[in-house]
Amino acid sequence: MTKKILASLVLLLVVVAGVVYATKYNSTGSSSNDKLRVVASYYPLYDFAKNVGKDKVLVSNMTPAGSEPHDYEPSAKALADAQKAPVFVYNGGYMEPWVSGFLHDYKNTPVKASDGIDLLSAEAEDNPAEKVQDPHFWLDPVLAQKIVDNIRDGFSKADPANQDFYAKNASDYKAQLAKLDDDFRSGLSQCKLRTVISSHDAFSYLGKRYNLDIASIAGLSPEEEPSAAKLAELSQLVKDKGINYVFFESLVSPRLADTIASETGAKTLVFDPIEGLSDADQKQGKNYLSVQRENLQNLRTSLACQ
Q: What is the mean pLDDT of residues 234-256?
A: 92
Residue 301's identity, in one-letter code, is: T
Helices (H), the chain: 2-24, 43-53, 76-83, 99-105, 141-158, 163-187, 204-210, 228-241, 255-264, 279-283, 288-302
CATH class label, 186-302 = alpha beta
Q: How far is CA 215 from CA 101, 166, 269, in A?
A: 33, 38, 15
The residue among 284, 34, 294, 299 whose CA lies nearest residue 191 is 299
Q: Which of 36-69 are b and which e, b meaning 16 or more Cβ less than 10 Å from the residue's Cβ?
A: bbbbbbbbbbbbbbbbbbeebbbbbbbbeeebbb
Q: What's the whole-model pTM score?
A: 0.87
DSSP state letters, 167-225: HHHHHHHHHHHHHHHHHHHHHTSSBS--EEEESSS--HHHHHHHT-EEEESS-SSTTPP
- Residue 117's DSSP bridge partners are none
What is d(CA 141, CA 1) in angstroms, rounded to the nearest whole number?
A: 73
pLDDT, tens digit (0-9, with 9 covering 90-100), for 181-204: 999 999 999 999 999 999 999 999
Helix (H), strand (E) at residue 59? strand 57-61
Look at residues 147, 163, 72 and name the one whose alpha carbon lies nearest to residue 111. 147
Q: Is the pLDDT of residue 172 over 70?
A: yes
Write out pLDDT tens, residues 196-235: 999 999 999 999 999 999 999 988 877 778 889 999 999 9
pLDDT higher than 70, residue 91: yes
Backbone angles phi, psi at 278, to 5 degrees: -70, 165
The fold adopted by the segment(s) 21-184 is Rossmann fold (3.40.50)
> In the predicted model, what is the mean pLDDT of residues 164-180?
98
**Where along the chain do its domains lie?**
21-184, 186-302
Amino acid at 213: D
Instruction: Work out the number of other CB atoms within 10 angstroms of the CB of residue 254.
Output: 16
- Residue 16 sits at φ, ψ, to 5 deg, of -60, -45
